[in-house]
Amino acid sequence: MYELEALNPSVSDATVYKHIQKLIDEGIVKEVALDDDQRRQGYPRKFYGLTEEGREFLDDHNLLAAEDTLQQIYDTISDKPEKMVKYENAPRPEEA
């Protein structure tokens, strides 16, 4: 979530969460929390990812065509805030 908030500063946290919740409700996105033994203070405990149905829906509507390109662009951001880099390297649940 931090990446979305940092890269879209004009969009409020509440708006991001509201839209993520709608995607969860529709079965497009899933929320996965770290197990208690994996949690570390100062790191995220919840992660979001596409469900299989969500990936199929986006693929059916040709909305995944730019996925690799967008990832490459994201990877080239050289001035990422320290917190973003920290979160990128955070422990993640296996099913996310």
Residue 93 maps to a domain? no
Q: CB-side exposure of 68: number of CA atoms within 13 Å? A: 1
pLDDT digits (tens, 9 = 90+) for 58-88: 999 998 888 889 889 888 988 888 988 888 8
Residue 58 maps to a domain? yes
CATH number of the domain to which 24 belongs: 1.10.10.10
Residue with the two structure tokens 């203070």: 41
Mean per-residue pLDDT for 27-40?
A: 89
**Total number of domains constituting the chain:** 1
Residue with the two structure tokens 């050289």: 78
Q: Which domain holds residue 79?
A: 2-88
Q: Which of 67, 61, 53, 1 is nearest to 25 (CA)?
A: 53
Residue 95 maps to a domain? no
Residue 96 maps to a domain? no
Mean per-residue pLDDT for 23-28?
A: 96
Length of the chain: 96
This model's pTM is above 0.85: no
- DSSP structural state of residue 77: -
